[in-house]
Amino acid sequence: MTAQPMTAPAAVDEFETRVDALRASMDRHGMAAVAAVSPESIYHLTGLDHLGYFTFTVLVIPADGRLTVITREMERPTIRAQLPELRHVTFSDGVDPAAAMAEVLAETARVGDHVGVEDGALFFPPSISSRVRTRLHDRVWHDSTALLSGLRTVKSALEIDTMVSAAAVSDTAMAAAVAAAGDGVSEAELSAAVHHAMYRAGGCQPGFAPLIRPLSMLDQEHVTWGDRPLRRGTGVFVELSGCVRRYHAPLSRTVYIGHAPEGAERAHTTALTGLHAAADALRPGVTTGQVYDAWQRATAGRELAGRPQRHHCGYLVGIGFPPSWVGGGEVLGIRPGGDVRIEPGMTFHLMSWVPGHVVSDTVLVTETGARLLTSSPRELTVVS
């Protein structure tokens, strides 16, 4: 299955539908305008796909009328090419972007009006936020982070199509990592094999670099790969995601070099049992907490009462820009006591993490249950 370009007519119609849905929510909350500042929110509403988000960018959505995108001046050709129908306001280097944002908001939200901003976004510096609010101190401010991220919770048919393509890239990249692994091979060489495979398979730069490290460093959850060589009798953890049109489908596997050490088979069986238990529980109508409980029971067994809890066994995944593939600093996770209801069209990176072994896949929630999108082999993997 091939993902449609985000510039296709179907995608253009979808962007309009998403803006309409946002405006309906704004109307219910009495908001005159919402300012989206996270790359994921802006991309979801417009399709703006570039790497210029590292400088301040904001999309202003009024209750009605034309949308305005505010960027650094040098992004003008990109905006002209990708978003010709939007109004474009720029700021030059050395000029305060808060002034441009405040000026546009002043045009759409009058004194006393309610305005939503993504306070929880990584890309909204507090210094800019405070200067905007100081200029427009007579507006009523609301955090619209949950409102905007909520629009991305359930995927459309077009988004699911794209994530299926991303999952195929992930599987190709994982196969390359397993094929490259061996005694004396460095983590850097594995990373090179992964990058080469994912780009050759049609993927683009993922939001997160591959996570590759020996099992002795498994608890260092986001450490970067280095030049450490793999050695016989040890294991290596590989977590990666293909990316197609900014949509991600992560997976992880634990690979053993030469032979599996003592306890590896039991750890693998436990982790795989947990993955299947969580996937079986991931059905419309249940809560995220119930899914977590199913995973915890399957992995802990009789040791449940005394075993430390993992903080989650999965999280929502989809659109992502550097520096992550999860779409922001805080994302909906499958956590103890979680009360979010599972709906068809949600996509999760489902993780089964036990001491010394990890297996994970991206899953789609359907009307009848969970469908695994990534399909890399899940048996105990030992390479020579």
Q: Residue 279's closest CA among 267, 295, 268, 265?
A: 295
The token pair that represents 348 in the structure block: 């999760």
Look up the pTM and report it: 0.93
| pLDDT tens column, 249-307 | 999 999 999 999 999 999 999 999 999 999 999 999 999 999 999 999 999 864 444 44
Q: Mean pLDDT score of the chain, rounded to an integer?
A: 93
State yes or no: cis peptide before 323, omega within 30 of 0: yes
* Model confidence at 362: pLDDT above 80: yes
Query: What confidence score (pLDDT) does residue 306 get?
Result: 44
**165-183: pLDDT as tens digits:** 999 999 999 999 999 999 9
- Are residues 297 and 15 in contact, defined by beta-carbon separation less than 8 angstroms? no
Neighbouring residues of 107: CB distance < 8 A, sequence distance ≥ 6: none
- In the predicted structure, residue 121 carries a pLDDT above the cut 80: yes
For the chain, domains (ranges, CATH) are 9-150 (3.40.350.10), 157-383 (3.90.230.10)
Give residue-wise pLDDT tens across range 291-350.
999 999 999 864 444 444 688 999 999 999 999 888 766 788 999 999 999 999 999 999
Handedness of CA 342, 164, 247, 175 (dihedral sign): positive
Arithmetic mean of pLDDT, 50-75: 97
The identity of residue 190, as a single letter, is L
* Predicted pLDDT of residue 304: 41
Stretch (H or E) spanning 102: helix 97-108
Q: Give the pLDDT mean for 148-170.
A: 96
Identify the helix (H) or strand (E) that includes residue 293: helix 288-300
pLDDT reported for residue 328: 65
Read off the pLDDT of each residue in 33-45 and give the average, rounded to a whole number.
Answer: 97
What pLDDT band is residue 231 in, cutting at 50, 70 and 90? very high
The residues near 315 (Cβ < 8 Å, ≥ 6 apart) are 326, 331, 332, 333, 334, 348, 349
The residues pairing with 249 across neighbouring beta strands, listed in sequence order, are: 242
Q: What are phi and psi of 94, to 5 degrees?
A: 90, -5
